[in-house]
Each structure stands twice: as structure tokens, then as C-alpha cells.
Amino acid sequence: MSDSGRSIYQDYKFLEPLAEGGMGTVFLAEDRRNNGRCVIKQLRTMENATAEEIQEAERLFDREASLLKTLDHPGIVSFMDSYRTHEDGRSRFFLVMSYVQGHNLETILQNHGKFSLDDTTKVGIQICEVLEHLHGLAEPIIYRDLKPSNLMLTPEGQVIFIDFGIARVLMSDKNAATRVVTAGYSPPEQYFGRPEFRSDLYALGATLYHLVTGVRPRPLITSVPSQQIPDILPSFDELIREMTAHSPLQRPESARTVRHRLYRIFQQIHPDFEIPDEAFSSDEKTPEDQFISQKIMKSGLKAAITAHESWPQARGPEFETYTDENMPSTLRKLAESWQRLSSTRIPKLDSDSKTTNADDFEQMVAAESNKQSQATSVTAKLKNTFDKHESNQTVWNKLFKWFKGE
């Protein structure tokens, strides 16, 4: 029930499903009260939950929904209401959001193709501004699920965050470290429930890499745009490398830092575009700062014309999004091992090792999700990798010993 005690089926008419992913199903709906359109997300329900767990889930859901309704930023979808129902012995949770015209970036990539560096830079600047807002709140929010399918592009060229992964709070254990990961976009620390602000920067780097190259980022591999586009600006290439570094300490300090570097990149693309030094001189966002972003956005995004196209919503990497409830057993064990070894510095993989290590990890996740892998084959794949680095006692060597039970 909503705060008013009314049923969601009384207030809204469900029209058609728009998308389905690891967090739930999204429906286009009609608001019966004003005949306007909206979007309703039905969150994935808890399986075999006890009465105590359901009560705790409801409490956390209400707390999170109340927080989301307070968000006020042009780059964030408006949250309108929340509902929960009890049917067939199961609790169902719903979130009502405003309807945003346009397409998500995943759909644009799959139907229109990759973005120009100019458009990618403009999209990155807008995303940074939203992350700055979220990270700077009195109760800071780490987004944790940044990827093209969660970002809408309107006909006006506005990028809007449309999904806040509210299912992350539906945990029975108050003290548990919630793990929500999407293969290719989530950083290493997120696999063992230790996300921080710079985790969002990793996901942003992976997203910008996907936009500019048209190639989906691979799990736990530092993204390098120049491997796909040899003549790309070195400054952009270096920024994406840093943002997708395995250690948070090797990434840029903040979303504001990334935004300023994107300003410089935009200036390289457009040498006549002037940026006053005052825009970089303060630790806080200044009027000059805001003016620069507005001026850049006024030049328009060419990709925004695709918002008028009639395309079915493309399926993104949601099928590779896992929480504690549905994480494959092999991935769960890997995450738990990372957590035990978290006191060891996560290695920065060099050019000789990053492909084999990350490839084996990616193959392991894919094999597990497709139910085609056995534990012995996983161990064999890992052994081929770790034997090459036997003399180097990194976290990877320790991880292999853990798989062998040593």
C-alpha cells in the first residue's frame, strides 16, 4: 500500500512491460488520477522469506523510497510514489517514477552505433554532475549501478539517471555488506561489498569506453579506448585507463576532478572553446563551473536525434547483474575470497597478465551463469593462469590456493 493506503492497481493502469532485468520489471503505466503516463518498477521479490525478514525488508524499502523521493536534480528521474502489496503469500514492492521520453544509451548503442568523442565527452560531463550531487548529499548516495541501460537520453540532449537499484536494501541482515555487481561495469571492490565513491567513477569510465568504442567492457579489465580506436585523444585514453584502474586509490579523486578533465578534453576537441582558470580554482562548484557546463551542452548532442526513433528497448547487461540473493555459487565464492583477502592490495594487472587473468574470470562467470561449468574445469582454468605467476605471491596466487583448499 502507498502512504495514502490506496492500492497501486486502483491508482495506476499497467500498460506494457518496458524492460526486465536483475532488479525487477519495468512497466509503462497510466496514472488513473490525471491520465498521465508514468513508469512503474516492480522489484524482484524475496524468495522463501520469513515474517521477520519481510518486516525488515518493508522497513528498509520505506526508508530508501523516502530518501529517493527527496532527490531533486534535472539529471535524476522524479520519484512519485511507492507501494507494497501482499498477494498469494508474497510481498511485492513497487516504485512509481516519471516517464522520460527518449531511449536509454544501451538502446542507442545497439541501434544507432557508437558515439562520437564529442558526444561521449558531453554525456560524461552530465553524468559527473549527477554523481557530484549524489556524493555530496547530507546522506551521500553511491549509485553502484552506472551503465548505459540505466541512463536515458532525451530529445533535448539531457542525460537522466532512471534506476537507483532500490532492491539493494532488501536484505534481511542489517549488518551484511550488500553486493550488487554488473559484469564489465562493476569495480573489483564491489564484488566483495566494499563500494565507495570512486566505485562509481570506475563504472563511469567503463560506460564512456562503451559509448565511444561501441564495445562492451569486459569484467575486471582496465578499459583502454585506444585498443579499439588507435587515433583517439591520448588525454581521453589516459582518463579512461585511470578511471577503470583496479585499485580505487589509482582512480581520479572525485567526479568533480573527472568533470574538469573532460572540460579540458572538450577544449582539445574544440580549440576555440575558452575555459577561464577560475572554473578550476575552487574546491566547490562555482557559477563559472556551472556556466561552462551549460555552454558546452548548448552545442547539442548529435546522438539526441535518435530519441525520436521508434526502437524496442535493447536488453543491456542486466542478465549479468547479481545481488547476494541470486549470485552464482562460483562468483559468490570468488567474492568471499576477495573479502578475506581484502587486506592485500588489489594488483594492477600489467599488459602480460591482465588478459589471461580477466579472461579466465569472465569465462568462469559466463560458464556458471549458463550452467555449463563444473568446479574442476574452473580450477583448471585458474591453474593455467596462476602457474604463470607462481613466484609472485599476489592476491591471485592466494586465491588459487583457496580454490585448491590449501
User: Among all residues, which ones are annotated catalytic?
Assistant: 145
Set of cell numbers at residue 76:
535524476
Name, in order, each residue with C-beta under 8 angstroms of 89's C-beta and a sequence gap of 6 or more. none
Residue 315 has φ and ψ, to the nearest 5°, of -80, 125
Q: How crowded is the C-beta side of 121, counted as CA atoms within 13 Å?
A: 25
Check if the beta carbon of residue 134 is closer than 8 Å to that of residue 141: yes
CA distance linking residue 216 with residue 109, whole number of Å: 10
Name, in order, each residue with C-beta under 8 angstroms of 79's C-beta and a sequence gap of 6 or more. 65, 68, 69, 71, 95, 96, 97, 98
Q: Which helix (H) or strand (E) holds 91?
A: strand 90-98
| Amino acid code (one letter) for 9 | Y
Identify which of 20, 12, 41, 207 has the alpha carbon closest to the alpha carbon of residue 124.
Answer: 207
- Three-class secondary structure of residue 287 per DSSP: helix
Set of cell numbers at residue 62:
520505506
CA distance linking residue 307 with residue 379, whole number of Å: 46
CA distance linking residue 272 with residue 295, whole number of Å: 13
Cα four-point dihedral sign 178, 180, 181, 185? negative
Cα four-point dihedral sign 221, 244, 199, 297? negative
CA distance linking residue 121 with residue 306, whole number of Å: 18
Q: Which helix (H) or strand (E) holds 255?
A: helix 255-269
Q: How crowded is the C-beta side of 149, counted as CA atoms within 13 Å?
A: 24
